[in-house]
Amino acid sequence: MGPKFMNLIAYEMCPDFQNDFGVTSYIGFLDSLIDHPDDVKHLRKKHILLNFLGSDDEVAQLFNEIGTDLVPNNAIYANVKRKIEDHYKTNWKKWMAQFFHEHFSSPWTILAFIGVLLGLGMTAAQTWYAANSGTAPCEALLEYLKDRGY
CB-CB neighbours of 83 under 10 Å:
10
Q: Does 64 share its domain with 38? A: yes
What string of pLDDT tens digits covers the 150 residues of the chain?
778 888 888 888 777 777 777 888 888 888 888 889 999 999 899 888 888 878 889 888 888 888 777 777 778 888 888 998 888 888 888 888 888 888 888 889 999 999 999 999 999 999 988 888 776 767 888 888 999 887
Q: Do 110 and 76 sit in the same domain of this protein?
A: no
Domain range enclosing 102: 98-148
In a shared domain, residues 14 and 85 = yes
Asked whether residue 34 falls in the same domain as residue 77, the answer is: yes
85 and 102 share a domain? no
Same domain, 16 and 45: yes
Distance of CA 100 to the CA centre of its chain: 11
Residues 25, 77: contact at Cβ < 8 Å? Answer: yes
Residue 43 DSSP SS3: helix
Same domain for 107 and 54: no
Report d(CA 138, CA 81) in Å as an integer.
68
Q: What is the pTM of this model?
A: 0.56
Cα separations (Å) of 123 from 31, 111, 145?
55, 18, 30
Tell whether 79 and 124 lie within a shared domain.
no
Domains held by the chain: number: 2
One domain, residues 7 and 78? yes
